[in-house]
Amino acid sequence: MDGFDCTVPAVRGADGTVNLGVCSTESEQAGFWWTGTGMSCAGDPALAADGHGRAVVAVIGADGGLAVVRQEEGQGLTLGDWSRV
């Protein structure tokens, strides 16, 4: 991300929404910066990198449908809008 090697986990928070964390790779002990996405999910989110190296998150929403969001072009871990598939 932004030219830095980063670790990016995606987890289902205690409130049932997707949270993303970011930290420098091999500096995980220094802590993560966490942000909530506001998307409710029924289970754990799936996280992958697309062919351009952007983060892609997929979840089974609270309604049972599949939803996907992709990192937008530009700096940082800015996500676009969630899309129902």
CB 40 within 8 A of CB 16: yes
With 90 as the cut, is the pLDDT of residue 28 above it? no
> Distance (Å, rounded) from C-alpha 17 to C-alpha 73?
24
Ranges assigned E (strand) in 32-81: 33-40, 46-49, 55-60, 66-70
Instruction: Determine the average pLDDT of the residues in 28-43.
Output: 87
What pLDDT sits at residue 26? 78
pTM for the model stands at: 0.85
Instruction: Determine the average pLDDT of the residues in 18-33.
Output: 83
- Encode pLDDT of 37-73 as tens digits: 999 999 999 999 999 888 999 999 988 999 999 999 8
- The residue assigned the tokens 């892609």 is 56
Strand, coil or helix: 25: coil
Strand, coil or helix: 64: coil
